[in-house]
Structures are given as C-alpha cells and as structure tokens.
C-alpha cells in the first residue's frame, strides 16, 4: 500500500505570528460552540467555555507558533534507550544477570516507557508509584507537582522468578523471542494483588475483561519495578515500524510543518466518514479561532486489542485509503501508531490516552462518546456511562495544560445520504452504525449506506473479512 505520503507530505510554509487577537484569546470567544460540561469547575474545555479561566490565561502567556509549546510531563521527555556505543557493554552485563521473560504485552509497555510516552516515568513502577497511580490516578513529582498517570505500568513475575532474582539489584529483561531487550536496575519486588488492581482500574471484577484475560489473570503474584535501560529501539518487523514515530519524532515533525496547534484523535477502529467529519470540523473551528496551521495527529492504537477488533495492519491499510481518497488531507494529517496496549477501561483509560499525547506534543485532544469503553462482559449494557469519559477529562488532575475537545455526535443522515451531526429535532432521519454493526456488514459482504465510508477504505475491510471466511473453509491437511 502507498504510505509515504502519510508521514512526509510536502513541507508547509511556516506560519507567521497570529494577528491580534491571538488564538488563545479567541478560545474565550467561542461560547456559541457548546455549553460547558461542568460549570462549577474553573477548568473547562477550550472550545466549550463561556468565560476566561486561569487555564486560558496560561495559554495566552505561552502561545507561540511551535507545536512544542506544550511541555512534556515533568518538563522533559524521559527516553530510556541507551546510546549505541553502550550496547556491547550492556549485552555483556546482561549475560551475568538473572532474567525475566517479557510477554508480548509487557514488551509493548517497555516500548511505551522507552520512548517517553509515560514521561516522567523511568521504568516499570515501584510500589510507591503503583499505589499512587492505582488509587489517585496521578503521581506526585519531587517538586510537589502532579502528573496524570491513570493506568499502572507494571511488570508481573512469578514465585520462581522472584526466588531466582533474590537480592540482586538488577535484572535483564528478555523479549518473547528470548533476546535481551533491557536491563531493569535497582529493582523492587512487591505483592501483586490482582483483585484490587482489576477492581480499581475497571470498576468491576466480572469475568471476560479482555486485558485482564490477556495480561493479568495468569500473571505472577509479584510486581517488579525499577529504572529501565533499553538496549536498542524496539521494532516489530511487521512492515509498520515506519509508522511508529516516537514522541520526539512527532514533535520534530510538527515543528518541521510549522504547526501552531496539534489536535490528536485516538482510535482503534477503521475511519468512517463520521470520524472524518469530526476531525475536519475541528480543524475548521481552530482556523476560525485564528490558528494558521492546525495539524491532525491521527493516532491509532497499536498494542494489544481484543480478538474481534480489526487487526492493526488492516486498519493501517484502511487509514491509507482514507487519505488517498481525500477524505482527510494528507498535507495536514500525520498518521502514526501509538504503541500502547488497550485496556478498555473507559474513563480511567482515556486519561492515559490524553496524557500520552501531551508527551507527543499535542495541545488539543478530541474525545467522543464512550472513549476506551466496551460492552459489559456479562450483561447487555455498556460497561461505562458513555458521557463520563469526556467529563472526567475536563476535571482530571495533571491534564490542565491539555485542551479537551468534546465533539458532537455524528450519525448517518438518511435524508442527506451522508454522515452528519445528529439533529435531535429530526432524530427519525438518523441511523447510528456502531463498530459492531459496521463489522457485521463487512463480514456478511453487505454494503453500508452510501456516504458512510470511502469506497477504498470499505473494500479493505470487505477483503479482510473475505480472507477470514476463506481460511475457515479451507481444509486442513492431515
């Protein structure tokens, strides 16, 4: 598939300084766009506020034409990959250390830590960091400040590994293939209370939570934390590594393009025209507020996802077709893979998704209905209130410098025969097509209504599900 244009379109002219009033000042003049989510709170969505707030004054003081105007959490990216000249010494050191084998999800978290997505974390959490994350959704810095950290990033080990490590201060971490990936230094081992962890992250211990089944239920009864030193950049050799831009690479790309605003859109599903409507409308609104060159970070999640989600390679091919068909503008869009695993933990997880994009240089974050949510695993209902994600983001400690952009609901307009913003006054004219329904259409070879998705993107999905059906009917040699 053609992909190079997604990451390196022609360089845009660097924007000139914004005329008065500045975009930040105009953030306060957008009362007609929507109502504040929680009027009692001073911190409101930048595009949804009626009056100035301390947060907006901070924006006004720091506004510039560089996307890097938003600092990483803790003030600097914490990148944990060792310099190349240290590699021989690290390999020799690792040979003499006790070893811990990483599962595929553990490797994804090592990747997240190595590139600075979880800054200012310096490795898998020790107990003090774990307890703060688990109970407060944030971590206190040495200077007294707080950074959001709603998901614990931890590494589980079993009794045998704990015994083998003993009182050794450092351990070597092996990838799933047995090769040494990193050294974990000054380790601390502490109990892994799985029930407490699951209950606090998901709000339920019901069976059938995908991440729990994949990464927690069968994990060891101990957690090991320490400072991480990764030997080399983590690669997957799956043909998609060129999409996996680190926070530093993304910040450099935003600056190269002269972005004065970066708005991030997290997704784990194929892009339909409703998504595109929301993203294009967000850019239009930012331009109306005086920004000269807002850049969209289309940021599909690339780590663990549940079995019935569309696989990453198929999604990336579908995203490519969306840009090729002109549904999104490749000159103002960067498509990159976010390496994190997916928890499906709703309002708790969406804070992590937003926090990580701060470290990547995004100063706006789009949030919609039921972010990071899923159906209840044992009951016929949503696991989370679909409005709570955006409300939680508007209040979450440690995310004050990020502008949260709740978007209007989009659905298929049966009269206009296209995706449009839902109009309650003629609700009978709108059709809501869920991700499950979309996948059902593709599996059954049915076409969605015209205007739901670009033809090239839809063909990618149909071809994928056809290939699955072909595999199911192919006889297995005996």
Q: How many domains does the chain have?
A: 2
pLDDT at 478 (0 to 100): 56
CB distance 399 to 41 below 8 Å: no
Q: 206, 230, 254: which is the final residue of a domain?
A: 230
User: Are both 248 and 199 inside the same structural domain?
Assistant: no
With a cut of 70, which residues of the chain have pLDDT below it?
Answer: 1-69, 472-478
pLDDT at 31 (0 to 100): 29
* Residue 371 within any structural domain of the chain: no
CB distance 80 to 230 below 8 Å: yes
* Residue 61 within any structural domain of the chain: no
User: Are both 300 and 443 inside the same structural domain?
Assistant: yes
The whole model's pTM is what? 0.85
Range of the domain at 453: 241-338+408-473
pLDDT at 437 (0 to 100): 86
Q: Per residue in 36-49, is it b (16+ CB within 10 Å) or e — as a string?
A: bbeeeeebbbbbbb
- Find the farthest-apart pair of alpha carbons in the chain and give their distance in angstroms, rounded: 75
What whole-number distance in Å separates Cα of residue 77 and Cα of residue 74?
A: 8
Q: 290: phi > 0 → left, psi -120 to 50 → alpha, else beta; which?
A: left
User: Are both 286 and 217 inside the same structural domain?
Assistant: no
For 13, 216, 308, the CA distances from 56, given in Å and listed in that order, are 27, 41, 41
* Residue 378 within any structural domain of the chain: no
* Residue 189 within any structural domain of the chain: yes
Neighbours of 296 (CB within 10 A): 25
Torsion angle of alpha carbons 341, 308, 464, 315, nearest 10°? -30
What whole-number distance in Å separates Cα of residue 170 and Cα of residue 168?
A: 6
User: Are both 325 and 430 inside the same structural domain?
Assistant: yes
Q: What is the pLDDT of residues 369-420, one digit of tens each?
A: 899 999 999 999 999 999 999 999 999 999 999 999 888 889 999 999 999 9
User: Are both 464 and 322 inside the same structural domain?
Assistant: yes
Closest to 180 measured CA to CA, from 272, 269, 88: 88
CB distance 311 to 319 below 8 Å: no
Closest to 298 measured CA to CA, from 245, 369, 234: 245
* Residue 212 within any structural domain of the chain: yes
Q: 230, 256, 279: which is the final residue of a domain?
A: 230
* Residue 104 within any structural domain of the chain: yes
What whole-number distance in Å separates Cα of residue 322 and Cα of residue 334?
A: 13
User: Are both 138 and 256 inside the same structural domain?
Assistant: no
User: Are both 130 and 157 inside the same structural domain?
Assistant: yes
User: Are both 462 and 327 inside the same structural domain?
Assistant: yes
CB distance 296 to 435 below 8 Å: no
User: Are both 157 and 277 inside the same structural domain?
Assistant: no
* Residue 368 within any structural domain of the chain: no
User: What is the bridge-based pairing of β-strands 171-174 and 99-101?
Assistant: parallel
What whole-number distance in Å separates Cα of residue 178 and Cα of residue 70?
A: 39
Closest to 434 measured CA to CA, from 373, 352, 366: 373
User: Are both 99 and 245 inside the same structural domain?
Assistant: no
Residues in the chain, overall count: 478
User: Are both 216 and 260 inside the same structural domain?
Assistant: no
Q: What is the pLDDT of residues 83-93, one digit of tens each?
A: 999 999 999 99
* Residue 49 within any structural domain of the chain: no
Q: 204, 230, 256: which is the final residue of a domain?
A: 230
Cα dihedral sign, 108-114-116-119:
positive
Which residue has tokens 């569309």? 310
Give the bridge partners for 100, in sequence order.
Answer: 173
User: Are both 122 and 221 inside the same structural domain?
Assistant: yes
What whole-number distance in Å separates Cα of residue 175 and Cα of residue 231?
A: 12
CATH number, position 259? 3.40.50.620
Instruction: List, as one string, the DSSP characters of 38-104.
Output: -TTSS---TTS-SS--HHHHHHHHH--S-GGGSPPGGGS----BPPGGGHHHHHHHHHTS-EEEPPH
CATH number, position 118? 3.10.400.10
């Amino acid at each position: 598939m053609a992909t190079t244009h997604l990451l390196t379109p022609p360089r845009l002219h660097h924007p000139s300084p914004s005329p008065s009033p500045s975009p930040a000042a105009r953030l306060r003049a957008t009362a007609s766009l929507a109502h504040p989510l929680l009027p009692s709170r001073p911190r409101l969505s930048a595009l949804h506020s009626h009056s100035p707030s301390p947060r907006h004054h901070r924006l006004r003081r720091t506004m510039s034409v560089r996307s890097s105007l938003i600092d990483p959490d803790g003030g600097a990216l914490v990148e944990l990959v060792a310099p190349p000249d240290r590699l021989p010494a690290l390999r020799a050191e690792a040979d003499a250390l006790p070893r811990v084998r990483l599962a595929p999800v553990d490797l994804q978290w090592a990747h997240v830590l190595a590139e600075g997505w979880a800054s200012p974390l310096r490795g898998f959490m020790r107990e003090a960091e774990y307890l703060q994350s688990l109970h407060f959704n944030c971590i206190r810095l040495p200077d007294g400040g707080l950074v959001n950290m709603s998901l614990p990033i931890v590494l589980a080990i079993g009794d045998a590994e704990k015994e083998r490590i003993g009182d050794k201060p450092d351990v070597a971490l092996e990838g799933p293939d047995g090769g040494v990936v990193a050294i974990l230094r000054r380790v601390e081992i502490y109990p892994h209370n799985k029930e407490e962890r699951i209950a606090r992250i998901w709000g339920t211990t019901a069976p059938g939570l995908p991440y729990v089944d994949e990464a927690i239920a069968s994990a060891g009864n101990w957690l090991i934390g320490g400072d991480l030193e990764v030997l080399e950049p983590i690669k997957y050799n799956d043909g998609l590594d060129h999409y996996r831009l680190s926070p530093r690479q993304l910040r450099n790309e935003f600056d190269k393009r002269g972005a004065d605003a970066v708005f991030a859109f997290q997704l784990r599903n194929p892009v339909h025209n409703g998504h595109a409507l929301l993203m294009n409308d967000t850019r239009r609104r930012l331009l109306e507020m005086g920004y000269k060159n807002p850049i969209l970070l289309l940021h599909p999640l690339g780590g663990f996802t549940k079995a019935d989600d569309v696989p990453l390679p198929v999604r990336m091919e579908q995203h490519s077709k969306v840009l090729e068909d002109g549904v999104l503008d490749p000159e103002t869009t960067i498509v990159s893979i976010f390496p994190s695993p997916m928890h499906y933990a709703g309002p708790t997880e969406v804070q992590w998704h937003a926090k990580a994009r701060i470290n990547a240089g995004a100063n706006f974050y789009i949030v919609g209905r039921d972010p990071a949510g899923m159906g209840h695993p044992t009951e016929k209902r949503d696991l989370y209130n679909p409005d709570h994600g955006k409300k939680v983001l508007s209040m979450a400690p440690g995310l004050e410098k990020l502008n949260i952009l709740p978007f209007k609901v989009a659905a298929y307009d049966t009269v206009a025969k296209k995706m449009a913003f839902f109009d309650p006054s003629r609700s009978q004219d709108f059709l809501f097509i869920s991700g499950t329904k979309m996948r059902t259409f593709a599996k059954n070879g049915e076409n969605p209504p015209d205007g739901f998705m670009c033809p090239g993107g839809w063909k990618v999905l149909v071809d994928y599900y056809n290939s699955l059906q072909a595999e199911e009917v192919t006889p297995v040699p005996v």
